[in-house]
Homo-oligomer: A and B are copies of this chain.
Amino acid sequence: MTYRNTLWKEQEPVLRNFDEAKIIRSVSGALALRDEIEQIVDRIWENDFDGIWWIGIGGTWASAMQAEVYMRHRSALPVFVDNAADFITTGNRRFTSQSVMICSSVSGTTPEMIAAADKVHEAGGTVFAFVDTPDTPLAEKADHLISYPANEQLKFYMTCSYMMYKNGEFAEYEDYCRNMEEYLPEVLAGVEKEADAWAKEYAQETVRFLDGHPDMPHYFVASGNQYGAAYSLGMCYWEEQLWIRTRTISAQEFFHGMQEVITRDTPVTLFIGEDEQRPLAERVAAFLPKVCANYVIIDTKEFALPGIREEYRASISHLVMRAVCSRIEAYMELYLRHPMTIRRYYRQFPY
């Protein structure tokens, strides 16, 4: 299939939809929430608690999974992740009046999240919500509220890190925060600049392949805190916003069945991060070249991240991947001629 008037022969956009100053301002602003987050966590600590529940749905569930896996590795705190629709139907008898739900929402109107907050309150528990839009139903139900746009994954990790510090599991916390505050905003903007040309080519190749294989799903594989990143990219961006078929699988599960449908032309993107689950993704990286000629590996280790201490890289590798994915989306939208704001069904009719 050939299209006339494609951009790729005529003009070569660079850094499409990129505003460096805006990114730096946005990330710096999120990092500046530290005091506010610490005060809220301090109050949760004073009241004692028997469980911290990261609860989300769709993209916010993906972020919740990232927060939980981060803490599960390092902390003995009773930390759980739950899907809001599970929580409001199956419930959880271990969620008590001493339990805390932590969640995030851009719109503040997601029905399952509002119902989950109500259920928490019925149990006498506490809701700590990051809601980008104040004066919305979820924001009004929050016992502790922080309203600051975007940066959901960072806000979650900041909360995790301080909780682990409070629990004596993060001695280097002060140094860590200073390191992030000093370097992270420029580093994340820098990753976008560094990945831009590569992402443009990736998007171009991906769209060309799709033209010949419109039904073929794109496979995303990831482990550790990259799993949420891959889950969210596959579902919230490619499926929802670009209408491309995807299949996301954890590197954990990859070799337990799914590997059998990978052949020479199957499009696979493997995310490799730097946390303790990296070896699971590396095993997939070693396998792919033997059976597939259409795979791409994005390894956060390849980015220099100037200024970030070596031992802190793992804790931000999901943010690095998000920066790379932002660049991919910018060009997928262009080459597909599919504005990411349009929806087929969502909010088009009631269901």
Binding site for B on A (CB under 8 A): 57-59, 61, 69, 72-76, 78, 83-86, 89-94, 112, 213, 215-217, 223-224, 235-236, 239-241, 243-247, 250-253, 255-261, 263, 275-277, 279-280, 283, 286-287, 290-291, 343-346, 349, 351
Smallest distance from the beta carbon of A91 to chain B beta carbons, Å? 7
B residues in contact with A92, CB < 8 Å: 72
* B245 and A261 within 8 A (CB): yes
Of B91, B240, B261, B351, the contact of A239 (CB 8 Å cutoff): B261
Given A58-B257, A236-B256, CB of A277 within 8 Å of CB of B243: no
Given A83-B252, A253-B58, A257-B235, CB of A247 within 8 Å of CB of B247: yes
Smallest distance from the beta carbon of A329 to chain B beta carbons, Å? 14
* B73 and A90 within 8 A (CB): yes
Smallest distance from the beta carbon of A84 to chain B beta carbons, Å? 8
Query: Could you pull out 13 A-B pairs where Cβ atoms are within 8 angstroms?
Result: A57-B252, A58-B256, A83-B250, A85-B252, A213-B215, A217-B217, A236-B256, A239-B258, A245-B261, A260-B345, A260-B346, A263-B344, A287-B351
B residues in contact with A235, CB < 8 Å: 253, 256-258
B residues in contact with A346, CB < 8 Å: 255, 259-260
* A286 and B213 within 8 A (CB): no
* A93 and B69 within 8 A (CB): no
* B343 and A277 within 8 A (CB): no
B residues in contact with A84, CB < 8 Å: 252
The 8 residue pairs across chains A and B that have the minimum distance between CB atoms:
A58-B256, A240-B257, A85-B252, A235-B257, A215-B216, A76-B93, A215-B215, A287-B351
B residues in contact with A73, CB < 8 Å: 90-91
A259 and B92 CA atoms in complex are apart in Å by: 27
A263 and B250 CA atoms in complex are apart in Å by: 27
In the complex, residue of chain B having the shortest beta-carbon distance to the beta carbon of A80: B80
B residues in contact with A57, CB < 8 Å: 252-253, 256
Smallest distance from the beta carbon of A89 to chain B beta carbons, Å? 5
B residues in contact with A240, CB < 8 Å: 256-258, 260
Smallest distance from the beta carbon of A158 to chain B beta carbons, Å? 20
